[in-house]
Structure 1
C-alpha cells in the first residue's frame, strides 16, 4: 500500500511540474485549436416543470450531462452530439449554446425519450449527428424486449478520479491519470 501511495504522490508531482512547465512555454492558440477546459453549463425549467441543470464537455463529440428534479424525483442522463458537423457552430459557438439552452427549456420528459433531439435553430439542416440525442447507454429497454439480468452493483470511483485527473493533470495526461487514480483508489471505495 505504501508503494501505491508513493507512486500516486510521484504521479501528482509529475503532473504539477508538467503543468508549470507548460504554462511558462505556452504559445498562443488559434481559435480552431482553442478548447474550453471548463464545461458549458446552464440551468433551466422545462415545459413539464422539471428543474434541470446541464453541463456539456467535449472536443469533436460533446457529451451533455443533464440532471433534472421533478416532484421529489431526480433523473440523470447524457446526451451526445457532434456540433462540428454544423458549419454555423464554428462561426458562432455562443449563439449555438444559447439556442441549445432554449431548446432544453422546450423539452418534456428529458432523459426518457430516446428519439427526441435537442437542436440549435442555426443547425436545422445539419445531419442528425450534429444534434444532441440521448446516449445509447441511457436509453430504456423497449417494452417488447426481455429484461437482461443486471450485474451485481459495484461502487466505482471513476467519476471522482476523472475530476482529480482534470484538476491535477494536463489534458494530454488526463486519461492516464484517471486510469492510475482508478487503479490506486478503487480498492478504497
Structure 2
C-alpha cells in the first residue's frame, strides 16, 4: 500500500472518529497534545504524520492504533418484512414491526405500523426529548396529541415531540399503514 493512501485513510478515519464523538479540532488538540493545525492537516490528508504523533492521537482519544488505518467496512443490512415478528395489541388489530432496531450510535429506531379498520392505540408519553416522525403509507390516520388532532392520509408526514400522551386511530374502512421513526436524544 502506498504511503499516500495510508495518510489519506488516517485522515478520513480520524475525522470520522472525531465527528462520531462530537469533538471539535480544539478538543482533540487538548486531549492529544497535538496542535489544532496539525489535526486539521491530518484530517484533510495534507500531512503525513509521524508515528509519534499518531501515538499521541491514539493515546489521547483512547483508541487502537489500527483504528486509524483500517478500511471502513460498507455495512448492508437487508430486512425482509415477511420475516419480522410484530409487537401486537388489541387482539392483533394493532401491529408494530421493528424494521430498524435501536442502535446506540444512531439514536433512532424505525417501525412499520398496521392498524386494522376501527383500531385505536393509546401511547404513553415517551421520555423528555423523544421525537416521532410519522410517514403515512396507506389509509387514513387520526393522531391525537393531548387536545390537538391531526388527520393524515397516504403520502402525509408528521413530526412531533412525543413526551405527551398520544393516540393513533385508523379512520379508514381498511388497513392503515404508516412508518414511524422514533428519535431518542443522547442522555
Structure showing greater Rg: 2
TM-score normalised by the chain length of structure 1: 0.24
Going by fraction, where is helix more abundant, 1 or 2? 1
Going by fraction, where is strand more abundant, 1 or 2? 2
TM-score normalised by the chain length of structure 2: 0.25
